[in-house]
Amino acid sequence: MTQYAIETYRLRKVYRSLLRRQSVVAVDSLDLKVPTGCVFGFLGPNGAGKTTTIMMLLGNVYPTSGSFRILGHSISDMGVRRRIGFLPEKFQFHELLTAEELLWFHGRLAGMDRQLLTRRVPEVLEQVGLSERARSRVREFSKGMQQRLGIAQAILHDPDLIILDEPTSALDPLGRRDVRDLILQLKSRGKTVFLNSHLLSEVEMVCDEVAILRAGQVQRQGDIEMLLQVHPVVDVELRAPSERVMQAVRTVARVLSENGTRFTAEVQGEEEIPALARCIVEAGGEMMRFAPRRESLEDLFVRVVEEAK
Ligand SMILES: Nc1ncnc2c1ncn2[C@@H]1O[C@H](COP(=O)(O)OP(=O)(O)OP(=O)(O)O)[C@@H](O)[C@H]1O
Ligand SMILES: [Mg+2]
């Protein structure tokens, strides 16, 4: 087994519009390393280049320059394509097929035989919670049910690498929890899951590593625990709002938000937390609450994206 399920080297994609005579750099010098067996979150604001990257990794979009390897192989290797499962961002299914028929159709296309499909189709429908609707037509499905079916299609052939472009965007909270459990179950079986999502609290719960992309370039990449430990934040509540306290706080920390008697401040490191408490007391602030916590993925995302502007 290779150490990395996905490795990219200075991967770049420039879309050229001949009509408008302009070009868009969608992905720029992308160096990604996705360890085998990990759940990897590929994050970034709208238009950052996530879907373009995924399309290149699948061999659907040709890179302008750079290179990449998937499960240690080139994507032109047919054997490796069979080991990848993919849920597209905008999936469009044959509406007249039933859920079961649709999975059979995709399974046959992926080269699975009848015996295997007879076992796998009910198994994956069960995994995504659609057993009861196996014989319903896709056009009768809600958006969330279609998304579940999309995930079933992505894992049907038991791939080693599962690429999910926005797997939970249409799901209700229970559906999201089911998909989270499913992802963790895939990971426990040694699979690599590469997912792109704007639902950062979901990503924080399920991913081991993340990369944050902006304007086609990686701004941060690494182990999620390490990335979030760098800048702790403290939620503070005062008895009464005080400009004097806030001025003092700004000398030792960065105020992220302020609302009446409450504020949230970010310090440079854990060792700065006592200094923040001291400075509030010295400025005459009466604290009702002082709660240090680690930065959330959303805090980090906002900071990284704004920093890069
Ligand atoms: N087929 C295309 N032709 C021309 N430009 C494109 C094409 N596809 C994407 N782009 C441009 O490339 C950039 C990256 O788009 P992409 O769809 O990869 O972003 P994304 O990170 O997936 O965004 P979102 O979060 O909105 O899905 C954008 O500026 C987009 O307009
Ligand atoms: Mg996209």
Per-residue pLDDT of 35-51, as tens digits, reads: 999 999 999 999 999 99
**Ramachandran sector of residue 173 (left: φ over 0; alpha: ψ -120 to 50; beta: rest):** alpha
Residues 164-183 as b/e (b if ≥16 CB within 10 A, e otherwise) read bbbbbebbeeebbebbbebb
Over the stretch 242-300, which tens digit does the pLDDT of each residue have?
A: 999 999 999 999 998 899 999 999 998 889 999 999 999 999 999 999 999 988 999 88
Residue nearest to atom 17 of ligand 1 (CA): 51
Give residue 1's pLDDT.
64
Residue to mutate (ligand 1; options 14, 15, 212; most atoms within 8 A of CB): 15
Over the stretch 150-171, which tens digit does the pLDDT of each residue have?
A: 999 999 999 999 999 988 888 8
Q: Is 197 in the pocket of ligand 1 (CB under 6 A)?
A: no
Cα 210 to Cα 198: distance, rounded to the nearest angstrom? 12
* Complete domains list, the chain, with CATH: 4-223 (3.40.50.300), 233-293 (3.30.70)
Ligand 1 atom closest to 89 (CA): 27
Is the pLDDT reported for residue 179 higher than 90? no
Give residue 48's pLDDT.
93
Over the stretch 192-246, which tens digit does the pLDDT of each residue have?
A: 999 999 989 989 999 999 999 998 899 999 999 889 888 899 999 999 999 999 9
Give residue 99's pLDDT.
95
Is the pLDDT reported for residue 110 higher than 80? yes
Mean pLDDT of the chain: 92
Contact 231, 271 (CB under 8 A): no
